[in-house]
Amino acid sequence: MLKHPDRALCDEVTVRLVKFPDSRRPPALMRAAAAGLLALSTAVLPACGNEPGERPAIAASGPARASDAPQHTDAGPRTASAPRLAGRVEKVFDGDSFRMRLADGTVTGVRIGGIDAPERTQPFAGVSRRTLANRIEGSTVEVEARKRDPYGRVVGAVFRDGQDLGLAQIEAGLAWHFRRYAHEQPPQERRSYAEAEARARAARRGLWSHGTPQPPWEFRARRRANDR
Q: What DSSP state is assigned to residue 145?
A: E
Does residue 51 carry a catalytic annotation?
Answer: no
Quick check: is 148 catalytic? no
Q: Which of 111, 135, 146, 190 is catalytic?
A: 111
Closest CA relative to residue 196, chosen from 167, 174, 160, 221: 167
Report the Cα 37 to chain-centroid distance in Å.
Answer: 21
Taken as a whole, the chain contains a residue count of 228
For this structure, is 190 an active site residue? no
Name the catalytic one among 78, 119, 130, 137. Answer: 119
In the set 129, 153, 184, 190, the catalytic residue is 153
SS3 label, residue 212: coil
Q: Distance from CA of residue 175 to its chain's centroid?
A: 14
Q: 6: burial class by Cβ within 10 Å (0-12, 13-18, 19+)?
A: exposed
Q: Which residues contact 137 (CB under 8 A, 6 or more apart)?
A: 89, 90, 91, 92, 98
> CA-based angle 47:52:54, to the nearest 5?
70
Cα–Cα distances in angstroms (integers) from residue 121 to residues 184, 214, 218, 219, 222, in the given order: 28, 12, 13, 10, 13
Catalytic positions, written as ranges: 111, 119, 153
